[in-house]
Structures are given as C-alpha cells and as structure tokens.
Chains A and B, each alone.
Chain A
Amino acid sequence: MIKKEIRKINEVGKALVSVEGNPGVALNHVVELVNASSDQSISFAKAINITEESTRFQVYIGTQGVSTKTKVRLHEVPTTVGFSQNMLGRSFDGIGHVTDKGPQIIFEKELPTQLDTLNPTVRLVPKQPLWTGVPMIDVFNTLVKSQKIPIFAGPTEPYNRLLAQIAKGAQADVIVFAGIGLKFDEHHYFKEELSKSGNMSKTIMFTHLAGESQIKGLMLPDVALSVSREFADQGKDVLVLLTDMTNWSNILRNVANYQDMIPSLQGYPGSLYSELARRYEVAADIEGAGSITIIGATTLESLEDPVPDNTGYITEGQFFLEGGKIKLARSLSRLKQQVNDKTRSDHRAIMTAMASLLADAEKAHEASEVGAANDSYSQKLLKYRSDFISQIEEPFGTPVELDQALDMCWDLLRKHFEPAETGITQKILTEYWNK
C-alpha cells in the first residue's frame, strides 16, 4: 500500500516539527521523515497536537538536519515496539532498535507503547517478599514483589552500584534495564556487573546515552515497560531498573517547554505527577500472570525538588542513600507490613524498637554537635548510633540472610541497652533477649 506523504515541513524547532493543514494524521500516530531526494528514512516522529491549521510532531532522533523539503510519510498506526524472546541478553536504544553487534532479531509481534492501565481488579495484593541480602532493606524495609520503589540519592552517591547490587541478588525471571541520560561508563558498568553475576542472559538493556536525542530518552521507559509487561503477561516475574528518572523528567520538562506548555513548579509541566505515575504504575502482580517490580533511581539536590517529591507520592516508599549508606530515617517500604509479620516473630518488634532508638540517637547527635549531649544516656545513644550506621546501614558487602540480620540487631541492642529501654514487649524480650 502506498503511504500518504506530505511534501513540506513548515516549522522546525528543537525536537518538534510542524506541517501545515490537516493531512489526516491521528493523535499519537507515527510518521516517518524521509529525505526528499534520496528517499532515505531520517527518523520516525509522533503526532502530538493536531488542529485544522497544522499538525505537530515529536521527532525521535532530533531535528538536526531536517529540511523544509523533508517528506513526512504517514504510517497510520500508534507507536509500537518490536517484541521477541530473543531480546534477552541484548541491548537496545530508547525506541527499541538494536545497538549491539549481535545477530538480527526477528520480532514476533509489535507492542503498542501507550501503557494502558491494568484493571485494578486483576491486581493481586502483593504478599511475596523479594529478599536482597541487604539488612537495611530485608529487616527494616522489606521489598515486596510488584513494588515500585526509587533510590533517592545525591548525584554523587553510588546509586547505580546499589541498583546493581540489588539486581545481582534479586530473584527475577527477566531483568529489564532502562537507562536514561546515562554516561557510557555507567552503561558499561551495568553490563559488566550483570555479566559477572551470570544474569546477562536474562537481561534486556535499553539505554539512552547522555547527548542522544531527547525524544528517544523520553520514549525509553514506555518502550522498556511495554516489553516488560509482555513478559509479565506471559507469566514471568520481571524486575525493571529505571535510572535515572530525574534525567527523564528533565527531558519531559524540556519538551513541554518546546511545546509552550505553562510550567507549574521549577519549569516542570503540571502533568509531571501523572506522567511519572503512568510509568511507575506498570508495576503489578497480575492475577493469572507474572509480575513487574520497579526499582528506580531518582537523583536530587533536595527532597522538595518536584521530581523526588512527586515520585515519593507515586512510589511505594523509597530507599534514601546518603554517604554511601541507606539511611533508616528517610527510607520506607510501604509494602513491608504485607510480609514482615510472616517472617520471624521478633521481626516487627525489633524493627520498631531499633528505629525508635535511632530517632532518639539522632536527637542526641544533634545535641552533641552543640555540646549538649552531656548525660550518660545520650552517650549511650551516640555509641549505638555509630554502630548502627557502620553495621546496619551499610548496603555493600556479602549478602546477609534475614535470620542472621535479625540476630545482628539483637546483638546491637544487648550491647548498648537495658531490656526495658528498648520498648519491646515482655513476651518478645523473654524469647529473644537471652538467646
């Protein structure tokens, strides 16, 4: 079938082009930009705003080199990504094109990338823990299959190292790596780590490198999540690693800006929350099928920045990385109570007690900085705090089983406190204090 073509582009901006009139393009449908003389394909683009007078497109690989005589060829389908089991072990760009040197992939089917919402009634209430071997996660903020949770970290923190550490140990059938605005060495680091752990054969990497076209980066999560969802629909447990969603949000901000949208906070569009939610909400444990768990990385200067702030309202908690440690006070797994009452009988009690003592210790620490922690109890708390940071908040190193991690916690309590000071009920104390 001959596809309809438009022979003139009226406006070319950053990432966007417009044509005059109404060529019959539908919203979110794909067009192809084609060199007028050589007939070679330049890029695909998507219709984002249609009026009687003009139609506006987002150009996937950017607009550098697009001529006013470039032809626009209509494809009359929404954006899709190719899917194949053979994608495992391979690397792709933000629009699902192969970037490694492996053999050609014959795609079994084309998946729409618009991420329709899963009907909430087919969601299972998440009840399966996902053990990581990191005590700060397993004891204090247990991860649950189908959870969506970001790592909040300053730009210089080892958040990618933590993502890799979790990915290496996590029990998933398929790992989908989705990197947006990555430096090449970060991409390389993940590939190495996953290969070393023997997980590369069940991993698909989607990478958008810093400096590549913004629209490719913008589309990457949808492409990666559509592929993830297909695996989950086929019964697989999928772990998606999204890094870094602040880069993604910044691209969203740029593109909204090119479209002259009214900004709400710090230049981000008012839809930032909904846009982030549409991606994170793909995480689910699906009745009669598999599951998708999403761990993201969100870099931040301040928690009040719109990206971490909106993310926090969307995700089911966060791991807060500071000084290379996962900080208890700012970390939270919202789903932990779904699973941590079915582990060891002291799990919840010790979690609560240690957190509450640490909060007191943080106050004593603040006081000590102005020389006010002068009583013996404060001194006790300070010692506890320092042990807690070095032993419990440390995420890197040999993985620790839950039992062992809980015993570590009791050791710490016994070392620093009297039983009554812990606030733990007598029943639990009798069972575990002298164990």
Chain B
Amino acid sequence: MNEKVNKRTGKLINIQDSLVQVRFFDEVIMGETAEILVEEKSLQGEVLQIKSDPKNPEAGIVEMQVFEDLTGAKIGDEVVFTGQPLSVLLGPGLLTSVWDGLQNSLYYLSKTDPYLRPGMKAPALDEEIKWDFTPTVKPGDTVKGGDVIGSVPEGNFEHKILVPFAMGTCTIESIIEKKAVNITQTVAVAVDNQHIKHELKLAFRQPVKTPIPFKERSIPQEPISTGTRVIDLLAPVAYGGTVGNPGPFGAGKTVLQHTLCKYALADIIVMAACGERAGEAVEVFKDFAELKDPSTGQSLMNRMCIFGNTSSMPVAAREASVFIALTVGEYYRYQGYNVIMLADSTSRWAQALRERSGRQGDIPGPEAFPMDIPDQIKGMYQRAGSDAATGGSLTFIGTVSPAGGNFQEPVTQATMDSTGGFWGLSQDRADAKKYPAIDPLAYTTSQYNGFISKSDREKILHTLQETNSIDQTISTIGLKKVPIDKYILYQKGTTIDFCVLQQDGFHDVEACSRPDRLEVINDAVQTLIDSEIQFAQGERDDDDFKQHIKSKFDLFRQNWKDWNYNAVKEKQIAQLKEKVDNFILQKKDS
C-alpha cells in the first residue's frame, strides 16, 4: 500500500492552550490520534469532536486536544491523522517500566535531556531485550483474538503471548521454534478468513478506551491481605474489587498508597501517578526498588509498572494515562494474574476533563465539571473485576482529592456511587496524627468479605461508635458526668483505636499485619469488648477511680503497642491473648 496516497491531513485554524481546531477535507474518525507538526516537532493529539465548517462547505472542522505543549504552533501548521485510536503497547517488558502518561519510557528519554521537551518520543518497551519464546501452537491451528500462541518468562511470571484482541479467527501459517527474540521480531504468521496475512510479535497495540474482555466475569470474593489493619478488619477489599479513597490534603492518601504498594498481596501492581507530585512517584520507583516483594522476596519493582503523568506534565495526557494503565491491568488479568491498580488521583483526572470541557465551551455541571462526569467515573471503575475462567483479577483503588476536603463534591459523590468499598480519610484523625487516618465511622464502607466475620466487624464498629459518643459527652459536659461502666467502655474503644486501628506505616514489623496476626488481634479485641475487667474501686472516689482505670489502660496500651512492634515469632504473636487475659483479670503482666 502506498502510504502517501492515503495520508489524511488538515491545517490548524485555532489554537488555545492544549485545544486546537483543524480544517480537513478528506475523512476524519472520531477518537483517532493525529500528529501536529510544530516547528519540526511532531506533537500527539486526539480527535474530540467533528463539526461542519461554516466557511467552507467542502471542508470540516475537527476539535482536538493535544497531549504536549503547543508553544510555537501557528495557523496553517499541518496535522496528519493516523487512523489509530489512542493505544498502549502490550508485551513482555511492561513490568519494572516507568513511563510518562503516554507510555514513553522515562529512563530512555533521560538519556538525551534531563527535561521533558515537547515532541520527545521514546519506545514504550525495550526493543533490545531478547525474550525466551516457547510456542504453544503449531501451523494449521486455529486461533482468534486473545488466544495464546506461546509464552516468555518475564521475571517470575509466565508472560503469555496473545493474538491481538481485535483479530478474528485465523489459521497459524508458521510459527518459530523455541528461541530468544525481541519484541520487533515476527514469531508467527496467521492468515484470516479473507486470506490476509498477519505477522504476530511478542507485543501488540491495544486501544485504551475499549476494555479488554473478560472470559467469564465473576463476583470478587477473596479478600486481599493489604497488611493495613483498619482495612483488613473493617473495610476489606477483594481481588477484583473497587475502592474509592478520598481525603483532604495531608490526611495520608499517598502514604496509604505507598503502603499498599509495599504490602498488599498481589501478583502485579500498576500505578497511575495522575496529576500528582513527581517526588512521590520517584520515591516509588527509586526507593521501592530496594524493598522486597512480600510474596517473592525479590525487588518490589519486579511486580510493578508506573505511569507518571505528574502534576506539571501536560494536563491533556492525564486522561490518557489512567486508561492506558487500566488496559495494562486488564492485559495481565487476562493472563490470569491478580493485579492491583492504584490511581492517584482520580480527581486530577476529572479536573483534566473539566479543563477540557471548559475550553470546548460545554455547559458546565456542578463545580464546572462536565455533566457526564458521574458516568465517566462509573465506566472507569467498571473495568475492574475478577475473571473466573482465567483466575485473574483487576482491583482498582483510586484516591480522590475533594476540593476543600468536602466529600459532597461531584467527584467524591460519583466515586461513592461507583465503588464497592470506600476508605474515607478524616482531617480530624490526621490532625491528631492518628494514622492511617481512615475514619471507620464516617465514609468508610465495604461490601466485600473480609478476614473476620461480619458480626465481629459489626461489634468492633459498634464499640467505636459508643466510644465516640462517650467522647463527645466528655468534651461537652465533662468526665465527671460519665458513669464508671461507660468510662471503661470508652477506654476499651480507645485501646482498639490506639493499638489496632492506628498503625505505623514506617516500621518494618508494625507496618504490616497478615491474616494470622489479624486473627490473634481480632480474638484479643473481641475478648476485650466482651469481658468485664476486674477493677477494684476500694476507697477511691469516682474521679480517682477513673484516673486509676486510665492509668491501668495506659500501661496495657503501652504493653500492646510494644507487642505490635516486637512480636515476630509465632510464639511471641500468640502472647497477645495472655496479655489481654491478664489485663481482664487485672493480674500482673510481665
């Protein structure tokens, strides 16, 4: 085919920030990408809208968003339409990669310039690396989109080589023997029903706004051990589930994301650093590389890939980065892996849509967000899920950054409506340095099964609720008015909060509690709630007695906290029960 003949072009007729209008005479496809040629640079853009040209009935006008800075662009600059929608390259080498929002390798780009200049491009996947390909089909076999034709080892993973999803039924004409090949080499040739030959390689491009299908979508059942107690006990998430994690700034969203990155049990973690601080993404790919994966003991980066479209990068690419990351997650789910995708932050993604729709002159919805923002958010979370046929799952945990910390704003509300779990971070808890600042009593819910029974979960929540209301009584009418039994209940709740819900994310032992430990903790908590503690009032008046009770609880809490930090061996872990029993009987505890 002659490329020149089919080259469809247009010319810039309007430029404002990242939005341009292009006059064209031929054909344009909604959603296709285009290259805008500005001062010898080629900038990538995407078609948003096509309309008629009032000045020229022969022509049409395309509205496009451009993913890179347009400084230097002039009226009349040429635009070349590619015919391809925004897509991501899928294949071996995804893991350990660090890209910008459009899948340009950032390490590759840094070889030529420490700054990201408009028009810079880099391969998405390393084209030099040779992968040990083992075929699983033979000439004459029939395959279709999504079928496996072979595999390569990628770190600890068996990376299946798939027929591109868009392809129909084909017959394998030829396939190479077991051999080391790179992603640019052809490994098989397949012939479709129209007798057209397709060269199959280790990697292929997949449009990002078309979800990769499930084989057999199923309801998320099995809880994920995140290592964070307040989550695993009170608001668990299952493989394939969705969680919204809103919080005002400073409440600890990022630290929580990093903790999940480090400790959540999953095969693969895809991180979309969307419109947030560059430093945080850097911490992940530089410092986390030295940390160990909790399942394999290898570098944590071996199970990760990162899309870093940080806050100073072009806004238009933010939307793309989330969809690109989702597609990578779906790809590994399809291969049968448990993937967690962390998006920080979905609010920045929504803001990018807001900036765009504002420039397009759309009628704004609440807080100037596009009217359809709830549907867009719902659609995004819907791409998560588990697959019974492959055994894989894609869990989507998105942070939300509500303006003014107000959870009533449109993005938080739409997220609540879209996710199966919700971890609301509270300013008050963060101010009191009670981390993680997930408030179990407000904006925190989960529809998923956890590691403890629902009734145990309810009992803990009930105790915390009571504690909270006694706390309010104390601060409004004073401690004197609180009866002794209520005061003891209050101290119990405070103990659960201090020793169980609060967790030091920066300490090796304390940062992560696995199910075995959780079980011991839950038993201790349930015993504490259910038991009457043998305090002796003696000659003390009520005020003194309360001080006495508080001092006993203080010691007990310190004792428990020490256990949190120090109990490592099975025997040490089991000692918590003894500590609680002794406390209840008011025996001396070593």
A binds B: yes
Partner-B contacts on A (CB < 8 A): 22, 24-29, 48-52, 78, 114-126, 146, 233, 261-265, 269-271, 273-274, 277-278, 281-282, 284, 286-287, 289, 303-306, 309-310, 312-314, 316-318, 329-330, 332, 334-335, 337, 341, 352, 355-356, 359, 363-364, 366-367, 370-378, 418, 420-421, 423, 425-426
What residue in chain B is nearest A417 (Cβ atoms)? B554
CB-CB < 8 A to A284: which residues of B? 278-279
CB–CB A356/B433 < 8 A: yes
Query: Which A residues are CB-close (under 8 A) to B278?
Result: 117-118, 120, 123, 281, 284
* Distance in angstroms between the alpha carbons of A341 and B506 in the assembled complex: 10
Q: What residues of chain A lie closer than 8 Å to B275, measured between beta carbons?
A: 273-274, 277
Chain A residue numbers with a CB within 8 Å of B15 are 27, 49-51
- Chain A residue contacts of B109, Cβ below 8 A: 119, 121
Whether, in the assembled complex, B107 has its beta carbon less than 8 Å from a beta carbon of chain A, the answer is yes
Q: Can you name 6 extra interface pairs (CB under 8 A) apart from A119-B114, A119-B115?
A: A270-B368, A306-B403, A312-B250, A372-B476, A378-B479, A426-B558
State A334–B109 Cα separation when bound (angstroms).
28
Q: Which residues of A contact B21 (CB under 8 A)?
A: 51
| CB atoms of A281 and B310 under 8 A apart | yes
B374 proximal to A (CB < 8 A): no
Q: How many interface contacts (CB-CB < 8 Å) are there between A and B?
A: 243
A117 vs B404: C-alpha distance when bound (angstroms):
27
The reply to whether A421 and B106 contact each other, CB–CB distance below 8 Å, is no
B104 to chain A, nearest CB (A): 10
Q: Is A118 in contact with B431, judged by CB distance below 8 angstroms?
A: no
Nearest CB in chain B to that of A264: its residue:
B368
Q: Which 5 A-B pairs have the closest CB atoms?
A: A277-B311, A304-B404, A359-B432, A372-B478, A312-B249
Q: Known contacts A119-B110, A121-B98, A337-B506: does B74 contact A375 (CB below 8 Å)?
A: no
Most chain B CB within 10 A, of A121, A271, A375, is at: A121
User: Are B558 and A420 in contact, with the CB atoms below 8 A?
Assistant: yes
Segment among B280-288, B382-390, B572-580 that sits at the interface with chain A: B280-288
- Which B residues lie within 8 Å of A341 (CB)? 506
Question: Once the chains bind, are A273 and B348 in contact (CB under 8 Å)?
Answer: yes
In Å, the complex CA distance between A376 and B544 comes to 9
Pick from A117, A313, A373: contact of B249, CB below 8 A.
Answer: A313
Q: Which of A119, A337, A367 contacts B478 (CB 8 A)?
A: A367
Minimum CB–CB distance from A237 to chain B (whole Å) comes to: 16
CB closest chain-A residue, reference B482: A375
A126, B279: Cβ atoms under 8 Å? yes
B479 touches A374 (CB 8 A): yes
Q: Which A residue's beta carbon lies closest to that of B433? A: A355
Closest chain B residue to A122, Cβ basis: B114
Residues of B within 8 A of A265 (CB): 367-368, 403
Q: Which of B39, B74, B401 contacts A313 (CB 8 A)?
A: B401
Given A50-B75, A372-B476, are A316 and B403 neighbors across the interface (CB < 8 Å)? no
Do A309 and B116 touch across chains, with their CB atoms under 8 A apart? no
Contact B250 A423 (CB under 8 A): no
Is the CB–CB distance between A425 and B433 below 8 Å? no
* Interface members, chain B 35-91 (any A CB < 8 Å): 39, 69-76
| CB within 8 Å for A352 and B315 given contacts A119-B115, A120-B308, A123-B282 | no
Q: Contact at A316–B277, with CB atoms within 8 Å?
A: yes
Flag whether B296 is at the interface (Cβ < 8 A).
no
Question: How distant is the Cα of A261 from the Cα of B405 in the complex, in angstroms?
Answer: 25
A206 to chain B, nearest CB (A): 20
Alpha-carbon separation in the docked complex, A277 to B471 (Å): 40
- The answer to whether A367 and B476 have CB atoms under 8 Å apart is yes
Residues of chain A contacted by B565 (CB below 8 angstroms): 425
> Which one of B165-173, B263-271, B322-330, B545-553 contacts A?
B545-553
Specify which of B287, B354, B432, B561 is in contact with A423 (CB 8 Å cutoff).
B561
Contacts of A335 in B (CB 8 A): 279
Nearest-neighbour CB distance to chain A for B169, whole angstroms, equals 43
Residues on B with beta carbons closer than 8 Å to the beta carbon of A273: 275, 311, 348, 351
Q: Chain B contacts of A278 at CB under 8 A?
A: 311-312
By beta carbon, the residue of chain B nearest A372 is B478
Q: Enumerate chain A residues within 8 angstroms of B406, measured Cβ to Cβ.
A: 304
Q: How far is the CB of A364 from chain B (nearest CB, A)?
A: 8
10 contacts between A and B (CB under 8 A): A28-B72, A261-B358, A261-B359, A274-B311, A306-B403, A310-B403, A317-B250, A355-B432, A375-B543, A426-B562
Do A372 and B477 touch across chains, with their CB atoms under 8 A apart? yes
B466 at the binding interface (Cβ < 8 Å): no
CA distance A421 to B552 in the complex (A): 10
Q: How far is the CA of A265 from the CA of B410 in the complex (A)?
A: 13
Residues of A within 8 A of B431 (CB): 329-330, 359
Query: Which among B114, B285, B354, B550 has the highest number of chain A CB atoms within 10 Å?
Result: B114
Rounded to whole angstroms, the CA-CA distance of A352 and B313 in the bound complex is: 36
Given A281-B312, A329-B431, do A117 and B543 touch, yes or no (CB 8 Å)? no
Which residue of chain A lies nearest to B345 when distances are taken between CB atoms in the complex?
A313
Contact B71 A114 (CB under 8 A): yes
Bound CA–CA A373/B475 (angstroms): 7
Using known A-B contacts A318-B250, A337-B506, A374-B478, determine if residue A51 contacts B312 with beta carbons closer than 8 Å: no
Closest to B431 in A: A329
Please tell me if B498 contacts chain A, counting CB pairs below 8 Å: yes
Identify which of A28, A125, A318, A425 contacts B286 (C-beta below 8 A). Answer: A125
Give CA–CA (A306, B404) in the complex, Å.
7
Q: How near does chain A come to B283, taking the closest CB pair, in angstroms?
A: 5
Partner pick for B110 among A122, A269, A374, CB 8 A cutoff? A122
Residues of A within 8 A of B401 (CB): 313
Most chain B CB neighbours (cut-off 10 Å) among A24, A277, A377: A277
- Does A24 contact B74, Cβ atoms closer than 8 Å? yes
Q: Identify which of A313, A316, A352, A425 gathers the most chain B CB atoms within 10 Å of its CB.
A: A313
Asked if A263 and B368 make an inter-chain contact with CB atoms under 8 angstroms apart, the answer reads yes
Q: Does chain A have a CB within 8 A of B192?
A: no
B558 A120 Cβ-Cβ under 8 A? no
What B residues does A426 contact at CB under 8 A?
558, 562
Question: Chain B residues with Cβ under 8 A from A370's Cβ?
Answer: 475-477
| Complex CA distance for A270 and B286, rounded to whole angstroms | 33
Q: How far is the CB of B58 from chain A (nearest CB, A)?
A: 16
Which one of B71, B117, B118 has the greatest number of beta carbons of chain A within 10 Å?
B71
Q: Give the chain B neighbours of A355 by CB distance below 8 A.
A: 432-433
CB nearest neighbor in B for A55? B75
Chain A residue with minimal CB distance to B498? A423
User: Is B355 a contact partner of A271 (Cβ separation < 8 A)?
Assistant: yes
Residue contact B506 to A281, C-beta cutoff 8 Å: no
Are A117 and B364 within 8 A (Cβ)?
no
| Contact status A118-B14, CB under 8 Å | no
Contact of B403 among A48, A309, A356 (CB under 8 A): A309
